[in-house]
Structure 1
Amino acid sequence: MLAHANPQHMHEMVMRLPADHSRVSRQIPRAHEHPAQLQQSKSSSIRLLQVLPSSPATLCYDRGRAPVSNRLMSLLVVSGIDKSFGGDTILDGVSFRLAWGQKLGLVGRNGSGKTTLLRILTGRMEPDRGSVQYAKGIRFGYLRQEQMVEHGLTVYQEAEDAFAPVLAMEARLRELEQAMARADGSDRLPSVMEEYGQMRERFEAMGGYESLRDIRLVLRRLGFGEADLDKPTRALSGGEKTRLAMARLLLSGPDVLLLDEPTNHLDLEATEWLEGFLRDFGGAVILASHDRWFLDRVVTTVAEIDSARLTLFNGNFSAYWLQRQANRKRQAELHARDRAEVARLMEFFEKWKNTPSKRSQALMRRRWAEKIQQRMAGRPAQEGQSMRLAVKSRIRGGNEVVIAERLTKRWGERTLFEDVSFLVERGHRVGIVGPNGAGKSTLIRILTGEELPTSGSIRLGANITVGLFAQEASGLDLEATALENMLSVGEMLPAAARTHLGRLLFTGDDVFRRTADLSGGEKNKLALAMLAWQRPNLLILDEPTNHLDIDSREALTEMLRGFDGTLLLVSHDRHLLDQTTTHTLEIRDGRAALFEGSYAATREERAAWRSAGRQIAAGPAGVSPAARHGGHENPLTAGLNSFQLSRARRQAAKTVGALESRVAELEDWVRRIEEALSAPMPGDDVVQLSRDYARAQTELNEALAKWEAAITYAHGIGAAV
């Protein structure tokens, strides 16, 4: 049974339930089944639930054990939602249902209405028309992009607040234990013991003492060490507050999760951990994100908001992307045919409208042309423009681009990295990864001269020109206009600057807007436009995808793929890393190592390096700069006799051949899945095929990266390939 819920009442009805590790298969108690506990929750100042759940390997909320009637019903029904601001229509007739176990990815360009829809679903905003209905007794959790935490608490206390009902019950159990001791032998003892038994049963069903372990586990997974637990929340950065809100909400256990950009401020490990949970979470999820890798591995349905309308696609993000491209290609072809037909009909009308014998025919053709135009206007809008940008080097730099030798950086007693040595050669595309706070951005600032190392050195090679994209586009003059910032690059006339900005979708008077008034995505695009005009041969990008929507990220990916110089890229966007990098530099626990291959291709090797606790690197990246700089001996063949070298060359050629065959097989697999996805089929088949497609793409990218590494090594030792 569905009922229109009062949002405030819905929020107050939330119970925060910890995991029960000892009994994985169980039914979570509902708030309305325990009114006494609900009252305790209210008195404990439980705030609006905003939840991210945990990995099933750590916290086990077995939603699959819900009654069949619950699992078959719609948890949420949205009917005909309209919303406008001023004269702008943001949502137009949005309708959909959310079923138990469904993972819905909400996608669309920046400003398309995703956050507005989430606010309407949670009752934080009223629609102009339409209704939102919730299944009775269902608990919602909402994660906003900007989170609030209590400033009077420590990190641990803030997370502990998720278990207020459990802690209140624990306090009551202690009181009852004391009451039993006092009532020993009296008539009150049986009633006290009965209450104690009932309370203890509910306490254990809600996770009991394991809750305290869960708190530390979740905080650690989201990047908070033991030393952070007593830190006051008022001292946290914005990103740390968001992660703390995640930890607090993660421990609360809702039925439905509404998540607005949940991977913001998460490092790659935390993102992958969250990914793992959401895949197996038995409740329902609505997830707004621009992270296509994350979406690919989590969602089963994609809801696209485009031109204020919502369209549903079965499958994950890759399946949606293929369907969208095919749909838009068909729409474009149909639009072109209709436009040509209108032109033909109107040409006849204009030619014969004043000829009495042909006038009636001319008028009929005009009426038919008007009907076609009405039909064209009723279709979804054609795909909007995407940013177009290319970067080409102005001059060719030396073979050695970045040389780090025994580089160390400390902050007080903390060592970010120590004794790090690596060489980046011309044409290398290096993805720099590691946990938040590991020192990735610090390494960039040392390289660009903004900071000094504690010891060691890092320097640029001969004729290297640097183009830097600082995090949050911090190099922009916020008081200047977009055009003035562009002109500050130099050697550019205003007309050329406006044309260049137009490629980034700055049109008309947009170029005269004060930079401080631009959105985060617009500032990033402006910084990228300035970077492209400089035409450096070394691009250094620190989190360039922040605030960019999926279409803009795709355009950035294509820009970097077409760049003919050397790239250093700090990013949490795994799709971008996998599509644009040839090497991976990982910084972690005070150490760093350079691996040959993209993020996905080096996953196993990096895991081995982490577990071994020592620096290793693949192929030529493992050779120290000193060995490369001194003498003329090839470090790849040093120490090999002629027999060993001959055998190594044969093996390298064999490896290249095997990988080429594997790449061909995987390309054929991807092609066959793409053909299957373009044909009509049942929804379940689309979901399975989309999962196969994501796996095939991942395996193909890994195989290509291994092939590139193998052929580089083969050439390095003189093998015939």
Structure 2
Amino acid sequence: MTLMQPSILTLTGIGFTYPDAPEPLFSGVDVSFPHGWTAVVGDNGIGKSTLMAIARGALAPDQGAVAPDPKRLVIGHCPQGVDIPPEHLDAFAADWSPETIAVRDTLGVGDDWPYRYDTLSGGERKRMQLACALAARPDVLILDEPTNHVDAEARARIIDAMRVYRGIGVVVSHDASLIDAVCGRCVVFSRRHVGTRNVTVVDTHPGGWTRTAAAIEARDDADAEALAEARRETARLAASRARRFDKVRQVEAAKRNGRHIDRHDHDARDRRQLAKMTGLDRGVTRAYARLDARADAARRREAELTVAAKRYDGDIWMDIAPSRRRELIRLESGVIRFDGRDAADAGPEAVGEDGLGLDSSRLSRAVVSGGRIRLSSAADDVPAAGLVIPTISIGPCDHVAVTGTNGTGKTTLLRTMLAHVADVPKLIVAQELTDDDRVAAMGRLQGLSSGDRARVLGAYARLNADPDRLLAGGSPSPGELRKLLVCLALPAGPQLIVMDEPTNHLDLSSKESLARLLADYPGALVVVSHDEWFVDRVSGS
């Protein structure tokens, strides 16, 4: 039994600490989600997905409450990953109601998609995931990074579907333009520095990301100026206090030495008597005490002021020499079949006329230009059966980006490249990372020498991540895990880096940091990405 559709979902006094963690992930969080779309933003690993798990009833908080009780609501949830089929996939496949047909049309879901989920591209799976959630008619819909994996067309369809939804919508995202297009408010997680420690705070701002970012920048500037003024006032009072203290010492010295005044020194005797009669010595002492209290109050005010926690974004020095090989990857022209068979020896002109048995209208095609390998499909309404490629050669210092719409074969091309890669030190980061990847990465970190561990954690901090949380045994989020894998590879000096959708799950600052690192990387680089800004920064185009 469900309640009437709620008008607002409220979280009050929420606190949560992971087992064995040295401090709470967050505490005292008060936040509400009304009808319409609210964006939840913040750095990787700061607690966004954990709070969403509490909001939908999948995780119990240590303190606080959620109202209405999420167990009495229909809550749709699209997680970050797309490796596991959606919960309502079978129900969606059998649902041909007018409402669900409208969802299919808005998202461009093919009739056969529910029956071949394992063969869909990452972007197609993301749309399938959202379609199943919408078809369940949820009271609350929570989307975690919905534009991961998707091309421009799919992204536009997802935005259209979000705009149609009329319930309580919450989107965890680092996609600034998506937030501006859909969301009327932002809930922002941030690390704030108070006194000598950092704490996580959660604030709500009206408007999309552009408006929110401007408000955060103005607040941070004002907070920094307030702290600077408080420090100036503390220093001024400290200096005044020191001067007063000197006067107190002079008065006390005069008291102690008064008995040594020459009985014939009438002027000195008169000054001592005047000080006693007017209470000058007591006044100096009282003034010092009042000034001491004011200085202590100023120090307390300074300690209570909060400012944005320091970021460690910066360049990472890579002592890596490129390979001396002339080629690290070479693929001859031919066809890469999507059914898993080997690429054909025949050139593209022979496709559809030889033993391949592939219809040329169902083939994607790759074009190499500068630092790009662009993939395009001959037909948008049928799944591609293979990819026609020219000769592809990647040298020891080449930076290459593989781009194209969902379903054209980018990840398949990447797998084929890796099957033909030279035997060189390399780093491979897949599109979807698993719990096994997380456990293995943490094991590698613990097994490093102290010098290598310091180097890895220093680089990790410069990618806008918190090394202290890892050292305390915290589990890295998907975005943090990507950054950790890159940093773990540095001591071995990889001569080739291959990354599939490297900006998936990364916060805005981390994307900037990773782009700088990869742009300066002296070895060979291959990235698959839909993020044009990122591709422009890191490729050789």
Shorter-chain TM-score bucket reads: 0.5 to 0.7
In the other structure, the counterpart of 1:324 is 216
In the other structure, the counterpart of 2:186 is 302
Q: How far apart are the structure 1 equivalents of 2:407 and 2:508?
A: 26
In the other structure, the counterpart of 1:431 is 401
Q: How far apart are the structure 2 equivalents of 1:312 and 1:132?
A: 18
In the other structure, the counterpart of 2:429 is 470
Cα distance, 1:417 vs structure 2: 1.7
Q: How far apart are the structure 2 equivalents of 1:508 and 1:400?
A: 40
Write the deviation string for residues 576-616 of structure 1: whole angstroms up to 9, x where unpaired.
33554464xxxxxxxxxxxxxxxxxxxxxxxxxxxxxxxxx
Is the 1:114–1:288 contact (alpha carbons within 8 Å) kept by the matching residues of 2? Answer: yes
In the other structure, the counterpart of 1:113 is 47
Contiguous gaps of at least 5 residues in structure 1: 1-7, 15-73, 167-206, 453-458, 584-721
Q: Is the counterpart of residue 390 in structure 1 residue 316 in structure 2?
A: yes
Structure 2 residue corresponding to 1:9, chosen from 2, 14, 22? 2
In the other structure, the counterpart of 2:34 is 98
Write the deviation string for residues 602-650 of structure 1: whole angstroms up to 9, x where unpaired.
xxxxxxxxxxxxxxxxxxxxxxxxxxxxxxxxxxxxxxxxxxxxxxxxx
Q: How far apart are the structure 2 equivalents of 1:369 and 1:375?
A: 10
Is the 2:33–2:170 contact (alpha carbons within 8 Å) kept by the matching residues of 1? Answer: no
Q: Which has the larger radius of gyration?
A: 2
Q: How far apart are the structure 2 equivalents of 1:144 and 1:379?
A: 37
Structure 2 residue corresponding to 1:420, chosen from 376, 380, 390? 390
Q: How far apart are the structure 2 equivalents of 1:95 and 1:339?
A: 33
Q: Is the counterpart of residue 336 in structure 1 residue 228 in structure 2?
A: yes
In the other structure, the counterpart of 2:204 is 312
Q: Is the counterpart of residue 367 in structure 1 residue 302 in structure 2?
A: no
Is the 1:541–1:568 contact (alpha carbons within 8 Å) kept by the matching residues of 2? Answer: yes
Q: How far apart are the structure 2 equivalents of 1:582 and 1:237?
A: 26
Aligned-pair Cα RMSD in Å: 4.7
Q: How far apart are the structure 1 equivalents of 2:201 and 2:472?
A: 31
Q: How far apart are the structure 1 equivalents of 2:208 and 2:81?
A: 26
Write the deviation string for residues 499-531 of structure 1: whole angstroms up to 9, x where unpaired.
5555455646945969xx654444322222244
Give the residue type in structure 1 aligned to 2:390: V
Write the deviation string for residues 292-342 of structure 1: whole angstroms up to 9, x where unpaired.
343343323222022443323333223323332332233223223322432
Is the 1:469–1:531 contact (alpha carbons within 8 Å) kept by the matching residues of 2? Answer: no
Cα distance, 1:274 vs structure 2: 0.2
Q: How far apart are the structure 1 equivalents of 2:301 and 2:522?
A: 46
Q: Is the counterpart of residue 88 in structure 1 residue 24 in structure 2?
A: yes
Q: How far apart are the structure 1 equivalents of 2:166 and 2:390?
A: 45
In structure 2, the residue corresponding to 1:104 is in which secondary structure?
A: strand
Q: How far apart are the structure 1 equivalents of 2:17 and 2:468?
A: 22
In structure 2, the residue corresponding to 1:409 is in which secondary structure?
A: strand
- Percent sequence identity is 23
Is the 1:159–1:248 contact (alpha carbons within 8 Å) kept by the matching residues of 2? Answer: yes
Give the residue type in structure 1 aligned to 2:222: R
With normalisation by structure 1, the TM-score equals 0.50
Q: Is the counterpart of residue 523 in structure 1 residue 481 in structure 2?
A: yes
Is the 2:42–2:188 contact (alpha carbons within 8 Å) kept by the matching residues of 1? Answer: yes
The alpha-carbon distance between structure 1 residues 92 and 274, as it changes in their structure 2 partners (threshold 3 A), is same
Q: How far apart are the structure 1 equivalents of 2:40 and 2:442?
A: 35
Is the 1:81–1:131 contact (alpha carbons within 8 Å) kept by the matching residues of 2? Answer: no
Give the residue type in structure 2 aligned to 1:542: D
Cα distance, 1:433 vs structure 2: 2.6
Structure 1 residue corresponding to 2:443, chosen from 451, 456, 480? 480
Give the residue type in structure 1 aligned to 2:39: G
Q: How far apart are the structure 1 equivalents of 2:162 and 2:319?
A: 43
Is the 2:126–2:150 contact (alpha carbons within 8 Å) kept by the matching residues of 1? Answer: no
Counting matched residue pairs gives: 442
Give the residue type in structure 1 aligned to 2:34: L
In the other structure, the counterpart of 1:290 is 174
Is the 1:560–1:580 contact (alpha carbons within 8 Å) kept by the matching residues of 2? Answer: yes
Is the 1:106–1:288 contact (alpha carbons within 8 Å) kept by the matching residues of 2? Answer: yes
Give the residue type in structure 2 aligned to 1:439: G
Cα distance, 1:107 vs structure 2: 0.6
Is the 1:91–1:113 contact (alpha carbons within 8 Å) kept by the matching residues of 2? Answer: no
Q: How far apart are the structure 2 equivalents of 1:522 and 1:372?
A: 39
Is the 1:543–1:571 contact (alpha carbons within 8 Å) kept by the matching residues of 2? Answer: yes
The alpha-carbon distance between structure 1 residues 485 and 138, as it changes in their structure 2 partners (threshold 3 A), is closer
Is the 1:259–1:286 contact (alpha carbons within 8 Å) kept by the matching residues of 2? Answer: yes
The alpha-carbon distance between structure 1 residues 486 and 377, as it changes in their structure 2 partners (threshold 3 A), is same
With normalisation by structure 2, the TM-score equals 0.64
Write the deviation string for residues 180-203 of structure 1: whole angstroms up to 9, x where unpaired.
xxxxxxxxxxxxxxxxxxxxxxxx
Is the 1:267–1:572 contact (alpha carbons within 8 Å) kept by the matching residues of 2? Answer: yes
The alpha-carbon distance between structure 1 residues 465 and 322, as it changes in their structure 2 partners (threshold 3 A), is farther
Is the 1:80–1:95 contact (alpha carbons within 8 Å) kept by the matching residues of 2? Answer: yes
Structure 2 residue corresponding to 1:540, chosen from 494, 498, 504? 498
**After the TM superposition, which of the residue ranges 255-264 and 138-147 deviates more from structure 2?**
138-147
Q: How far apart are the structure 2 equivalents of 1:529 and 1:424?
A: 23
In the other structure, the counterpart of 2:362 is none
Structure 2 residue corresponding to 1:158, chosen from 79, 82, 91? 91
Write the deviation string for residues 360-417 of structure 1: whole angstroms up to 9, x where unpaired.
4444344334433443444444224345442557457899886654143221488542
Write the deviation string for residues 157-178 of structure 1: whole angstroms up to 9, x where unpaired.
3314656xx5xxxxxxxxxxxx
Give the residue type in structure 1 aligned to 2:297: K
In the other structure, the counterpart of 2:510 is 552
The alpha-carbon distance between structure 1 residues 265 and 486, as it changes in their structure 2 partners (threshold 3 A), is farther
